[in-house]
Structure 1
Amino acid sequence: MDLGNNTNIRLNPHDEYMHPIEDVSNFNESMYINCFDHETKMGGWFRVGNRPNEGHAEMSCCVYLPDGRVGFMFQRPTLTHNEALDSGGMKFSVISPFKHLRVTYEGELCVLNTPQDMDNPKQAFSANPKVNTKISIDFFNIAPVYGGEMVDDNGKPIEEAPEESFARAHYEQHMKAEGVIQIGAEHYPINGLGMRDHSWGPRYWQNLYWYRWLPMCFSEDFAMNISVVTMATGKQYVWGMVLRMDEYGDKDYVLIEDATITSTLDAQNQAIGQEIWLKTHEREYTVSGKSLSLIPLRNRRTLPDGNFLNTRITEAMSVFHCDGQQGYGMSEYLDQMVDGKPVGITC
C-alpha cells in the first residue's frame, strides 16, 4: 500500500460489508482467508472475488491434506451485482465486524495426488477425481486490523488508473479458526491459525510484475505478514507487520520497514524454501521457510492489441521457523511469465 503525499488511510466497521460498484471495467471486491492446524499439519485457503463489470465472480477453494494431497476448485460464475461474497458454492459471512467471520463451501474439490498436475489445469481436472466437499469454518480475531482505503485530505478515495491499480483499498488481519472440512468420507476438524484480507477497487493481476507474499502464524501472540511487490515500472514496495507482545505486555502490530527474501527453487523455478530477513523499528528477525505442499495456478488475459499475458501464482503451504518457534502459513509467489520463466526469478 503506497501512501504518497496527501494520502490517508480510512477504515470503518461498515467496510467489512459490500461497497458500491465503481465505474471502471476491472472493479473487484474480494475476501481471502487461510488457516492451518499446527497439530494435524493441514489447512487451506478460500477466496471469493466479485467482478460485476466483467459479468462474473471468481471462487477459489484449496485444501492441503496431511498426506500431501491437495483438493482444489476454481469457478467463474456469472455475476452482475455486488450484493454479497457468495458464489460458486462458497460464502463469506461477517458475523461481527473485525472480530468474527464465517466461511462455508459446498461443492466439489478436485483431489490431486500430485499437486503439480495443476500446471496443466485442463488435464488436471479431467484426470483427477472430483469429490463432494462441505466446509464450515469460523474465524475469530487474534489481532487488530491493518490497512484500509486510501483517501485524500477531503476523504475522497484516491483515483488510480485501472492499468496501474491493484490494492487501493485493502486490509489484513491474523485470525484463529475453528471448524470442519469434509471431503467425501474424510472428516477433518480444524483448530488453527491464519490470516485474512479484504480488497475493493480496480484490480488486474497483471498490473504486478512479481510479488512474494508470506503470511504466517507461530502462535496467537506471534505472527507475521511479509510482502515484497515489484511493479512493471521497476518500482518496489516492501510492507507488512509483525504481531508480538510489546514491553508492556500488550499485543499489537509493529510495521515492517525493510525485508529481503532469498528463495530456493525447484526444477520448474518454483519456490520451495526461503531465507527471510526483516526489520521493524524495534529489532531484526530472520525466518526460514520450507514448502510442505505446492500447487501452481495461473491467470491469463489478452490485451486489446492481441498480446497475451500469462501470470503464474504458486501457492505453497509452508512451515516457518523464527526465534526458536515453529509456525505455518503460505508462500504465495506471483510472477509474469516471459519465455517460460518467472520474471522475479532472482527473489
Structure 2
Amino acid sequence: MQTAELDRVFVPQRDVPRWSETAWLGSWNPDAGVGLFLHIGRCQQDLDMWWAQTMVYLPDGRVAVDRSHGRPGDPDTMGSGNLRLRIEEPGRRWSAAFDGAAELTTTEALAEGLVGSGPSQPMRFELRGEAVAPMWDLFAGRDGHTQDFAGGTHTQQAFDATGRVTIGDTTYPLDGCAYRDHSSGTRDLQRFGTHHFVLIVFPDRVIHNIQVKMPDGTTMIDAGVVLHRDGGQTPVTGTELPFVSALPAEPTECDLVVSTPEGSETIHVEALHAVNMCITDSGDNLNGVGWQLDEDMPVLVECAARYTAADGTVGYGHFERSVRRSMLPDG
C-alpha cells in the first residue's frame, strides 16, 4: 500500500476481532502557552460510532476537557458530532474543529480522577495543519507487526498550525506546530506495561519515536525516524528515556537519548503542560485516571514539551508516557 493511501478514513473490518481506527491530533503555541490534545476512535461495540476526547491546554495549568460519542455523517471525517478531524488533502493537510462545551479543570484534577462531566462552558475551535515533512509509516520496511495497538496501519506527521480557540468570552491563538497519528487494525493494550512516544518539531528536522515495553520489561517495539526538512531521513535505532514514575507528570524534565546509525544525540525534554487519561480493556479512552475502576489499566501522561538539542536548537512537540496503574505509587 502506498503511503498516501494510508492517509484516509478506513472502511471498518467488522470480521476482525477488536478492530478499530483511531486518530490523534495535538498542537502547541509556545508564545500563548495554549494547545490541543484531541483523540478519537471507533467504539468497539459499534464501529460506526466514534468516541472523542477533547482537551485544551490553557495558561496557568488549566485544562478544558470534554468527552463525547457520535457519528460523523461524512466518509472523509472522523468525528463525534461536536469534534471533527478531517483529512483535507492526504499526506499534506489535516484540520480539526469543535463546537460544543467543556469543563474547566486542572492537570492535578485529571491525575486524581475522571473528569469531563462537570459544569461546562461553551467552547469552539478551528485548526488547520499544513505538513512540514513527509508522513512516517511505522510499518514500512518492517517484517511483521510485533505490537497490539495498531495491528494494520500506523502513520504520523508534523504540521505548521493556524487557528484559534474560544472558551466562554476568551479567545486564544493556536498558531504554532501540530502533529498527528492515525492507526487502524486490532487494538488491544492488555500487553502494555510502559511506553513512550515523542514527536519533535525542530526548525531543520522532525523526530518520531515509539517505544513499548511489556509488563515484564521486554521491548515490544522501539522504532522511529528523523525526517530532515531538506528531504533526507535517518532511521532511529533506539531510544532511552525515563518512564513516568508519578502523577501528574514525573519527571517533568529529563534527557532523551536518540540513537541512529550515525551515533547518538542527547535532547533535553521539558514538559510544559500535561493531561492524564486512561484506557480500559474494552477500548474506552477516559479523561483523567479511573482509580475507582476495577481494572489495572494503562495510565497515560500527555504533555506539550520543549526540546533542546545539544547544539542549543529548540523545538516543540508531543511527549507521551504510560504505565500500568498498579505500577504507580497509589496504584
Category of TM-score, reference length = shorter chain: 0.7 to 0.9
Matched, 1:186 2:170: yes
Letter in 1 for 2:318: M
Range with bigger deviation, 18-27 or 294-303: 294-303
- Paired with 1:198 and 1:145, the residues of 2 have a C-alpha distance of 11
1:175 aligns with 159
Partner of 1:242: 226
1:181-223 deviation digits (Å, cap 9, x = unpaired): 111111122221122111011102333221011212232x223
Contact map agreement 2:246 2:329 (CA 8 A) in 1:
no
Aligned to 2:130: 140
Matches within 5 A, 1:1-347: 10-22=1-13, 23-51=15-43, 53-54=45-46, 56-77=49-70, 84-112=77-105, 114-122=106-114, 124-125=115-116, 129-147=119-137, 165-168=148-151, 169-219=153-203, 221-232=204-215, 234-236=217-219, 237-245=221-229, 250-262=230-242, 265-266=245-246, 270-301=250-281, 308-322=295-309, 323-338=311-326, 340-341=328-329
Q: What displacement does 1:177 show? A: 0.8
Taking a change above 3 Å as real, the CA distance of residues 206 and 88 of structure 1, as seen in their structure-2 partners, is: farther
SS of aligned partner of 1:144: coil
Seen in structure 2, the aligned counterparts of structure 1 residues 342 and 235 have a Cα distance that, compared at 3 Å, is farther
SS of match in other structure, 1:262? coil
Assess if the C-alpha contact under 8 Å between 2:71 and 2:79 holds in 1: no
Alpha-carbon distance in structure 2 between the residues aligned to 1:144 and 1:44:
22
Name the CA shift for 1:88/1:252 in 2 (closer, same or farther; >3 Å).
farther
Classify the secondary structure of the residue corresponding to 1:308. Answer: coil
**What is the CA–CA distance in structure 2 between the aligned matches of 1:180 and 1:229, rounded to whole Å?**
34
Distance 1:159 1:339 in 2: 27
1:265 touches 1:273 (CA, 8 Å); kept in 2? no
The CA distance in 1 between the partners of 2:42 and 2:282, in whole Å, is 20
Q: Give the match's secondary structure for 2:241.
A: strand
Counterpart of 2:102, as a letter, is L
Equivalent position of 1:6 in the other structure: none
Shift of 1:62: 1.5
The alignment partner of 2:174 has SS state of strand
Deviations 1:82-110 (A, max 9, x none): 87412141112222110111111111122
CA deviations 1:208-241 (Å, max 9, x no partner) are 221011212232x223222221134643121112
Cα pair distance change 1:243/1:286, threshold 3 Å: same
Q: Note the aligned Cα RMSD (angstroms).
A: 3.2
Task: Pick closer, same or farther for the CA change 1:62–1:18 going to 2, 3 Å.
Answer: same
Tell me which amino acid in the other structure corresponds to 1:317. A
What amino acid is the match of 1:138? R
Q: Percent identity?
A: 19
Counterparts in 2 of 1:26 and 1:342: CA distance versus 1, 3 Å: farther
* Structure 2 unaligned blocks of 5 or more: 284-293
Deviation at 1:179? 1.1
Aligned equivalents of 2:24, 2:235: Cα separation in 1: 21
Decide which moves more: 310-319 or 225-234. 225-234
Q: 1:99 and 1:275, CA in 2 relative to 1: closer, same or farther beyond 3 A?
A: same
- Separation of aligned partners in 2, 1:280 and 1:13: 26
Q: How many residues align?
A: 317
Decide whether aligned partners of structure 1 residues 255 and 268 sit closer, same or farther in structure 2, where only a CA change above 3 A counts: same
Q: 1:244 to 1:152 in 2, by over 3 A?
A: closer
- Larger of the two Rg values belongs to structure: 1
* CA–CA separation in structure 1 for the residues paired with 2:231 and 2:214: 33
C-alpha distance 100-116 of structure 1, shift in aligned 2 (>3 A): same
1:72–1:267: structure 2 CA closer, same or farther, 3 Å change rule?
A: closer
Unaligned 5+ residue runs, structure 1? 1-9
Letter aligned with residue 205 of structure 2: F
User: SS of the residue aligned with 1:216?
Assistant: strand
The 1:267–1:102 alpha-carbon spacing in structure 2 relative to 1, beyond 3 Å, is closer
